Chain A
């Protein structure tokens, strides 16, 4: 028993499911939060049967900003030991699909960016008061540089990267680590069937890496690690060249 409690937000995704298994295997308590409660109940039962862990399910909608404070209060009441958070929710719609549909674009930005900001802003004082815990935020390589394919989604993730950067400095002062994970190609339903993927990592490997980096108190990490090099090159490409590239 390592005696922490992990709140997993957006817990139906493959990476979040795998992450929940990782922490449950350590003996941590897990709170699964997301929209598909029936599905989360199954995941919770899996953690109980598989690892004899303690797991609970809470309804969570990133867009229902007003409900986030209550959600965190419930988690605080349930928790055992320090509270840590794995923020894995996002809504990804490619630019081509969005077209000129601003309503859909706004929804995506609000869910991906403002939803995260809302949760983190309510969470920060709780973690400061506790003086313990970890925050893991799933960012994206899409947030490193805007590309024609998904710059709107990328801008939300870029905002989230900057937000967590500031939060990291703030919470560091009270002993809470904030880790930003930037996944490359992970074999999830988000990437399933997409052409042109290479060196795709399993959600299990990604989850293990997320936990490892969180426990080490790392700041920003690419997963798998070699994406640091790929994105390093992509970030360095001069705009005059980058805008001509088809990536």
Chain B
């Protein structure tokens, strides 16, 4: 079958197994040929991370059972194909929430761990991996091993954010937290430029529960970095009553490429940013709508048409963040490569995994429709990130170079040592692993 990531490019032709129980997981791993096998959850990583062209993928969606929940500790034990949204749907009414969620509720927990995802509260809560108690991992040998910070700590660190290359997660346990409320008070403020954004983020970092910035990446010069800062806190008033449900719209067809003409994008961005008056606004929204604004539009990736799109997300350490983000925005606006609103957030601390994305700094995410010349633009953005000591997020990536990757992830050597130990023959493979030479050159 043909598979693609959320960006719909690149595409891969794979043989897919869809196990429903452990024995079938082990059989699929055992049946992998020289081209290898990789776990594939909800397909929400953007690029080629969960693809394996000419090889096998192991779809984890049917491994979606919950195994245990202890209300005292908040620890939930489950299979890897359970989605973030399913956990929230079942546990918010019981007063528990995941401490960290990515920007979509459709991701599986296995995939979220394999990318050590972050949310809009990283300064407070860290990455998802920080809340994982243990993982059961089916290794290349067919053995299932439990890895935690206490037992198999190295395997644990390699698997958190490890892009599925250490094995297939067959069970995991993570610690949920009591949900303060099911609604969020969201305050939006207009930001005139990037300096204003940085000043506001510095103030928000220590104080706010959630914070996220939306930037019009087409603005240049003095208006560069213009946008909206959204600060959220749990609404203490609303207690535990469930927010009214709403039917979600979808994108029923692929948009024509005209929709991505810079003029259209400019109009959309202008409209989106200027609907807000000078004083800003404050409103109470259901937690899910605040956390997953784009989930309200099913298949929003179709907006980019058949050709698909690439997302570029990087983090720049605090010291170089203003200069680095400024340089990236300047380069992007000069390219005129139409991008809808860019997202700016702060991250609080370094992740637990060898290949974890997070470090203390500012993270910027931008979408670009797939077109000729996109690789050259990404190469330039990559070098700006490198020059400022930052790194590119593998969950979103489809175009990073192997040299850039090695320079950005200093613990790659340790990661390779673990792979060498648990998977010497390279049974777990992906298009991303080959492109970035994650296992080493020529393997």
Contact = CB atoms under 8 A, between A and B. Distances in A.
B22 A39 contact: yes
Classify the interface of chain B: helix, strand, loop or mixed. Answer: mixed
A74 interface: no
Interface stretch (B47-55, B65-73, B290-298, B322-330): B65-73
A98 interface: no
Interface in B9-23: 16, 18, 20-23
Contacts of A36: 21, 23
Nearest to A43: B65
Contacts of A192: 18
Contact of A49 (B18, B21, B69): B69
B251 interface: no
B144 to A, nearest CB: 12
Contacts of B319: none
B264 interface: no
A49 B66 contact: yes
Classify the interface of chain A: helix, strand, loop or mixed. Answer: helix
Interface residues of B, number: 15
A67 B288 CA distance: 50
Given A45-B67, A45-B68, A50-B90, A14 B21 contact: no
B68 A49 contact: yes
Interface string B68-91: 110000001001000000000010
A43 B79 CA distance: 11
A189 B21 CA distance: 11
A12 interface: yes
Q: Range of interface residues on chain A?
A: 10 to 19
B22 A49 contact: no
A46 interface: yes
B387 to A, nearest CB: 48
B334 interface: no
A42 interface: yes
B403 to A, nearest CB: 39
Contacts of B79: 42
Contacts of B90: 50
Contact of B65 (A38, A45, A189, A193): A45
A46 B69 CA distance: 10
A43 B63 CA distance: 10
A39 B66 contact: no
Interface string A29-71: 0000000101100110110011000000000000000000000
A12 B18 CA distance: 14
A12 B21 CA distance: 9
Contacts of A39: 21-23
A144 to B, nearest CB: 27
A118 B386 CA distance: 70
A44 to B, nearest CB: 10
A1 to B, nearest CB: 17
A14 B21 CA distance: 11
Given A14-B62, A50-B90, A189 B20 contact: yes
A17 B20 CA distance: 10
Contacts of B23: 36, 39
Interface of A: 12, 14, 17, 36, 38-39, 42-43, 45-46, 49-50, 189, 192-193
18 contacts: A12-B20, A14-B62, A36-B21, A39-B21, A39-B23, A42-B65, A42-B67, A43-B65, A45-B66, A46-B67, A49-B66, A49-B67, A49-B68, A49-B76, A50-B90, A189-B18, A189-B20, A192-B18
